Amino acid sequence: MIATIQYKSKKYQIDLSKPLDISIPLKASKSNVNAWYIGEPKMEPVIIDDWVGSVEKGASVNFNNIQFSPHAHGTHTECVGHITKAFHSVNKNLKQFFFTAELISVAAEKYMKDTVISKKQIELLLKDNTPEALVIRTMPNTKDKKKRQYSNTNWTYITEEAMVFIRNKGIKHLLIDLPSVDREYDGGKLLAHKAFWNFDGKLRLDATITEFIYVANKIEDGSYILNLQIAPFENDATPSKPVLYKIIE
């Protein structure tokens, strides 16, 4: 099914029958991707007196409680409420769900004891493109990203300078295949988060960061239409399912 999407004065055609899902599914397993020093997600049948919400245990339906953290257990989309005293809900602030997007692959640079994504790299790869959304695939890109245990690994992060550049480019939605855009241990500075949302100026309430994506190697760098699907949680962050569509030339 071919659909036409208009962005500003330009029209784009996409094939809705060929979605490219870049989310990581959540499962109740120690092999579920994880960060931030907590256990795996749990999915357990509801128990009410003698009734157990499991068909296997005699119920007519499966009826589970699910315990997880959006920030630690998989693909999630967050708004500025992640770092503000005032409550801001991603569900209230994200009201548009299709965006022009650019996918880039970045091999992190060495910086002291860290690895970082720099302004120079983003600038070089984006060129003159000004998409609404930027999707970053870090290299090397292996399937173990879908089950990696990130706690205490000092993962790659985006420099403050690079994030200011991304913000000044007018990019509203940033997606990356890491647990956070900031350094794992940064003393609570959150320089990249704050730069992206313009924390010390006029807050970008409608801007989002999506972390813990996975972009398969078969998906080529280039221009796409992004469908950013979120679960309607009234929270600073929510599980999400970003889907890319190749633009038909």
| 180-235 pLDDT, tens digit each | 999 999 999 999 999 999 999 999 999 999 999 999 999 999 999 999 999 999 99
Beta bridge partners of 109: 116
Three-state secondary structure call for residue 134: strand
Domain assignment present for 32: no
Structure confidence by residue, pLDDT tens digits, 61-71: 999 999 999 99
Residue 249 has pLDDT above 80, yes or no: no
pLDDT of residue 195: 98
Domain assignment present for 9: no
Domain assignment present for 33: no
**pTM (two decimals):** 0.97
Query: In this prediction, what percent of the chain has a pLDDT beyond 90?
Result: 96
Domain assignment present for 36: no
- Report which of 190, 110, 184 is spatially closest to residue 152, judged by C-alpha positions: 184
Where does the chain show beta strands of DSSP type E? Answer: 2-7, 10-15, 20-21, 42-45, 47-48, 51-52, 64-67, 76-78, 98-107, 109-111, 114-117, 133-139, 157-158, 173-176, 208-211, 222-230, 237-246
Residue 6 has pLDDT above 90, yes or no: no
> How confident is residue 7, by pLDDT bands cut at 50, 70 and 90?
confident
Beta bridge partners of 101: 133, 224
Domain assignment present for 28: no
Task: Summarize the confidence of residues 76-101 as an average pLDDT.
Answer: 98
**149, two tokens:** 């245990």
Q: Which single residue is written with the structure tokens 């990249």? A: 192
User: Domain containing 93 — which CATH number?
Assistant: 3.50.30.50
pLDDT of residue 204: 98
Within 10 Å of residue 15's Cβ, how many Cβ atoms?
A: 13
Q: Is 117 exposed, middle or buried (0-12, 13-18, 19+ CB in 10 A)?
A: buried
pLDDT of residue 9: 82
pLDDT of residue 26: 97
Domain assignment present for 145: yes
Task: Summarize the confidence of residues 114-135 as an average pLDDT.
Answer: 97
Structure confidence by residue, pLDDT tens digits, 47-61: 999 999 999 999 999
> Per the structure, how many domains does the chain have?
1
In terms of residue numbers, what domain contains 233?
18-23+75-246
> How confident is residue 5, by pLDDT bands cut at 50, 70 and 90?
confident
Task: Summarize the confidence of residues 75-85 as an average pLDDT.
Answer: 98
Pairing label, strands 133-139, 173-176:
parallel
